[in-house]
């Protein structure tokens, strides 16, 4: 049993990278969000426990997240390889993952830390535009409308949501960095951290990760 961990904040391209790796490798994508949804649906005891926290608007505790991960892993072959996305989020989760893997003679091989210059992140994150009438989503760089400021579908006016303003985004980036700093230190100490320059195209980021995986 093997695992890699994907670390990347808003706009770092973690979603795109995990889609790429799903196609190019046999790593099983395990995202905390998907897993929580699955656990709720399954109605398993731990799923119900998580549900109670979520319905109360509380964070799901590390111990519950870890049991959900354990349940997920127990569904696959002992030789399976996983990529964790959105997990671990805290040092306690990281330590719990270590223990879980040790008990099953597994190893965490690499922690890929997607690094993007702040200026590039801002360009990516402030570029989103939404149609006022139909809600279609565009991006000034990635998915530009045919005519600036106008929806391709119905000619509606495109606007920038308050969530996508520079101040809000800077704040989200800061929160992410603060939350992740201890994890980065934890994996650096274990010599598992692989910094990946992710400021260019998704293909380049993917290729850099594949290089390390095949080394
Ligand atoms: Zn529209």
- What pLDDT score does 41 carry? 85
For the chain, which residues make up each domain, given as ranges?
2-116+171-214, 118-164
Say how far residue 11 (Cα) sits from the centre of its chain. 10
> Which among 89, 95, 109, 123 is annotated as catalytic?
89
Mean pLDDT value of segment 162-189: 93
pLDDT band at 32 (very low <50, low <70, confident <90, very high): confident
> Which among 51, 109, 123, 172 is annotated as catalytic?
172
How many Cβ atoms are within 10 Å of 156's Cβ, its own excluded? Answer: 16
pLDDT band at 36 (very low <50, low <70, confident <90, very high): confident
Mean pLDDT value of segment 2-29: 94
3-state secondary structure of 132: coil
Distance 130 CA to ligand 1 centre (A): 8
Residues whose CB is less than 8 angstroms from the CB of residue 173 and which lie 6 or more positions away in sequence, other chains included: 9, 10, 11, 118, 121
37 is catalytic: no
3-state secondary structure of 28: strand
Distance 131 CA to ligand 1 centre (A): 5
* pLDDT at residue 47 greater than cutoff 90: no
* pLDDT at residue 43 greater than cutoff 90: no
- What pLDDT score does 3 carry? 96
129 is catalytic: no
> Which among 124, 128, 129, 194 is annotated as catalytic?
128
- What pLDDT score does 157 carry? 97
Q: 91: part of which helix (H) or strand (E)? A: helix 91-103
Is the pTM higher than 0.75? The answer reads yes
- What pLDDT score does 151 carry? 97
CA R_g for the chain:
19
Distance 105 CA to ligand 1 centre (A): 53
Residue-averaged pLDDT of the chain:
93
- CATH fold of the domain at 2-116+171-214: Rossmann fold (3.40.50)
């Amino acid at each position: 049993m093997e695992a890699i961990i994907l670390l990347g904040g808003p706009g770092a391209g973690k979603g795109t990278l995990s889609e790429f790796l799903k196609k190019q490798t046999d790593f099983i994508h395990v995202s905390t969000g998907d897993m929580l949804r699955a656990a709720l649906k399954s109605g398993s005891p731990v799923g119900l426990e998580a549900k109670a926290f979520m319905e109360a608007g509380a964070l799901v505790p590390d111990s519950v997240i870890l049991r959900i991960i354990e349940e997920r892993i127990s569904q696959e072959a002992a030789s399976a390889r996983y990529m964790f996305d959105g997990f671990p989020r805290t040092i306690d989760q990281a330590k719990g993952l270590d223990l879980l893997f040790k008990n099953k003679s597994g190893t965490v091989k690499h922690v890929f830390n997607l690094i993007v210059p702040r200026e590039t992140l801002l360009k990516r994150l402030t570029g989103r535009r939404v149609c006022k009438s139909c809600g279609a989503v565009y991006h000034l760089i990635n998915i530009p409308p045919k005519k600036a400021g106008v929806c391709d579908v119905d000619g509606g006016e495109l606007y920038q949501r308050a969530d996508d303003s520079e101040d809000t985004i800077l704040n989200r980036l800061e929160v992410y960095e603060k939350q992740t700093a201890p994890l980065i230190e934890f994996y650096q100490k274990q010599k598992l951290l692989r910094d990946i320059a992710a400021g260019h195209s998704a293909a380049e980021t993917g290729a850099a990760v594949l290089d390390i995986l095949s080394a």
